Amino acid sequence: MFRQTNQPSAPPLPLLITGVAGVAGYNALAYFQDRYPGQVIGIRQRDNWRLDGPGVVACNAEDEEGLSRLFEEHRFGAVLDCAGNCALRACELDPAMAWRINVDGVRNLIAIAREYHARLVHLSIDLVFSGTRSGGHREDDPTDPVTVYGRTMVAAEELIREQLPEACTLRISLPMGVSFNGHAGAIDWIQSRFKKSKPATLYFDEVRTPTYTDCLNRLCETVLASDLAGLYHAGGPQPLSLYQIAQVINRVGGYDPEHLMGCQRHAAGPIPPRAGNVTLDSSKLARALGYQPIHTWPYDPSLVPTHERWHFDRPADQPGSKQWLAEVLYRNPLRS
């Protein structure tokens, strides 16, 4: 199993991280601020007043004037763009809002990165695919999103490809780590249901390639410090359905197995539409870097579900607990 021991090279500094309310951005901010104290700023939407702290600035990426003032003050050498409204239902009900945040924000970042000669790394998503083609998607597969969110992410990718080809876009899947509000991430939302002894219903046929944020942080640092350009998939090696992901959280956290429900995605209703198998083939990225940058989530093969009632099995040597969950699902022990 690959273990990277050397720290990546430093990216151009100062560094701006957008979208720090999301799981990827929130964890990236903590990682980079620890690595480069005083050199990292994170921005969040102005109306998200609950998210505050050192180095966090209220500035909407779609606010061209506000973004320009921030660049004028800090003269950023690089931008890690983790922004985007990924609330599927909200995007379906308000496409104009989704376009403003997910596309116009990227348009502004492209223009200002070009003006300041700043390195730009942009995070996109596996939901640019419908998941109707049996997964294992490669970078040259045609996109066919089923949601407004997916369509805006495709539009943002196209803007970067056309207007700033020296930038790098990383398509990620579910980032597995803590969220600032305890509800934004996959782990947090599912665990919040189990904590309250409420049922959580997940899909048997929506399949993703989840990734530890510990791996994404190191990957983004490496890519920011490089001249890697173009589009790369950055999903984990282990495909898991949303139901299987919930099985892992249920068993590792020691929660009541009766609270996990499963269904096919067609039973979820029309809004928001659900994608199917949107797993990513990330071999192009591994070839470009010369190593596999992303470990399997969960890191231990014994924690990968093998059947529909796997979470009912409770081995004596694996007593589930919230502490164990935090140690092996929020964090990657192989990166500790």
Residue 69 lies in a domain: yes
Token digits of residue 211: 């990734």
Q: Are 258 and 266 in contact (CB under 8 A)?
A: no
| Tally of structural domains, the chain | 1
C-alpha to C-alpha distance for 48 and 317, rounded to whole angstroms: 42
Q: What CATH number corresponds to the domain at position 278?
A: 3.40.50.720
Q: Is residue 121 situated within a structural domain?
A: yes
CA distance 59 to 42: 9
In a domain, 291, yes or no: yes
Q: Which pair of tokens denotes residue 131?
A: 């998941």
Is 260 inside a domain boundary? no
> Is residue 96 in some structural domain?
yes
Q: Give the contacts of 223 (CB within 8 A, at least 6 positions apart).
A: 121, 168, 170
Global model pTM greater than 0.75? yes
- Structure letter (DSSP) for residue 8: P
Please give the pLDDT value at position 6.
56
Cα 285 from Cα 287, distance rounded (Å): 5
2 lies in a domain?
no
The answer to whether the CB of 317 falls within 8 A of the CB of 251 is no
Residue 208 belongs to a domain = yes
**The domain containing residue 93 runs over which residues?**
15-243+269-335
pLDDT of residue 53: 84
In a domain, 261, yes or no: no
Write out the chain's pLDDT in tens, 336 residues: 333 445 678 999 999 999 999 999 999 999 999 999 999 999 988 887 777 888 899 998 889 999 999 999 999 999 999 998 888 999 999 999 999 999 999 999 999 999 999 999 999 999 999 999 989 999 999 999 999 999 999 999 999 999 999 999 999 999 999 998 877 889 999 999 999 999 999 999 999 999 999 999 999 999 999 999 999 999 999 999 999 999 999 999 999 999 999 999 988 877 899 999 999 999 999 999 999 999 999 999 999 999 999 999 999 988 899 999 999 999 999 986
Confidence at residue 204, expressed as pLDDT on a 0 to 100 scale: 97
